[in-house]
Amino acid sequence: MKVIASNALDAVLRELVPEFERASGSQVSVTYLSTNQILERVKAGETADLLIAGRTAIDELAAAGKVAAGSATDLAASGIGVCVRQGASKPDIGSVEAFKRALLAAKSVAHTATGQSGSYFAGLIDRLGIGDAVRAKAKVSAGGIIGEFVARGEAELGIQQISEVFAVPGVVLVGPLPPEIQKVTVFSAGTCSSSREQDTARALVRFLTNDTSVAAMKAKGLEPVRS
């Protein structure tokens, strides 16, 4: 069975999918992309059996006939956070003004161009009045796990979904964005209309919503939700 999943679920799926394979006897291949990349690729014709992405993207793909009607299941929510390299000092980001000062003081700031967090952050810095200053020292990736840039020392601060920080050794979470400027994304699963493995896909979704999986999601910085 082929799964295309948001990077936000990377850390937890790498733990849970092997458990599902052992319990079910099924083999699962997972490709990790940003939600926007998933949306673009599936609209362009890429196929899979199960998609896990931001709820708005799953709903859009359902409207386009790519995701089976009524199959969308909310799995977890994640806010956006700031990370630094392990051992580095953690800046104060406890208020909007403190967050602005931290961004301006940092030598470099990394974020994605296409991910849910990166797209939001690009607009946020303009609303905060520091867009030009931050863009001048930004490390922007098309997608992927931003913590990897921070772990290698290529960026001082990383901005990404909190759950994605847990996928990278060598980085630590400073904390979430201040509540006034936080954006929480709900990630959902949707069975692909063209899938020949819909029973297995539904079984995996049920597995991802059991008590053991819920505990694993919490441990990886996700907040489980129910549809």
In the predicted model, is pLDDT for residue 227 greater than 60? no
Residue 23, strand partner residues: none
Per-residue pLDDT of 182-216, as tens digits, reads: 999 999 999 999 999 999 999 999 999 999 999 99
> Which H/E stretch holds residue 35?
helix 35-43
Supply the pTM of this predicted model: 0.89
Give me the mean pLDDT over the 158-167 stretch.
91
Query: Which residues is 5 bridged to in the sheet?
Result: 32, 52
Torsion over CA of 22, 69, 58 and 227, rounded to 10 degrees? -70
- What domains does the chain contain, in order, with CATH numbers? 2-77+186-224 (3.40.190.10), 80-181 (3.40.190.10)
CB 73 within 8 A of CB 186: no
Q: Give me the mean pLDDT over the 145-156 stretch.
A: 92
Length in residues, the chain: 227
Q: Which residues pair with 51 in a beta bridge?
A: 4, 190
To the nearest whole number, what is the mean pLDDT of the chain? 94
**Cα separation, 51 vs 57, whole angstroms:** 10
Q: Mean pLDDT throughout 116-120?
A: 89
58, pLDDT greater than 80? yes
Mean pLDDT of 80-94: 97
- DSSP lists the bridge partners of residue 141 as 112
Q: Give the separation between CA 160 and CA 100, rounded to whole angstroms.
A: 16
Q: State residue 173's pLDDT score.
A: 96
Q: What's the pLDDT score for residue 226?
A: 63
The residue-averaged pLDDT of 17-26 equals 97
Number of other residues whose CB lies within 10 A of the CB of residue 123: 11
Could you tell me which of 216, 165, 208 has the C-alpha nearest to residue 189? 208
